[in-house]
Amino acid sequence: MFKNKKLIRFGLTLLVCLWGIDFTIGYFQVYLESAAGIKWVISETWRTVLLDAPEGILVILGAIALYDFTKETSPKDASI
């Protein structure tokens, strides 16, 4: 169905990796603050990368999937 499978696979892999990193950082922030009272501050740049980049990746992958799904097929392929 989709012809850009490599691009979609790369985007989903990047998305999962960024979510994993964001979860790990959030977990350690809560753990350090509750266990040792250490407040671990992440810079705004990294917070933006970890929160806004996955959303952008999902939008781009959705646009690619929608384009591939709604693209007109040739008459030869339509008869198959």
Full-model pTM: 0.63
Residue, of 25 and 5, whose pLDDT is higher:
25
Q: How much of the chain exceeds pLDDT 90, in percent?
A: 0
Dist CA 77 CA 71 (whole Å):
12
User: Do 4 and 68 contact (CB within 8 A), yes or no?
Assistant: yes
Give the integer Cα–Cα distance in Å for 17 and 22: 9
Residue 57: C-alpha distances to residues 8, 16, 67 (Å): 10, 10, 15
Residues in the chain: 80
Q: How confident is the model at residue 41 (pLDDT cuts 50, 70, 90)?
A: confident
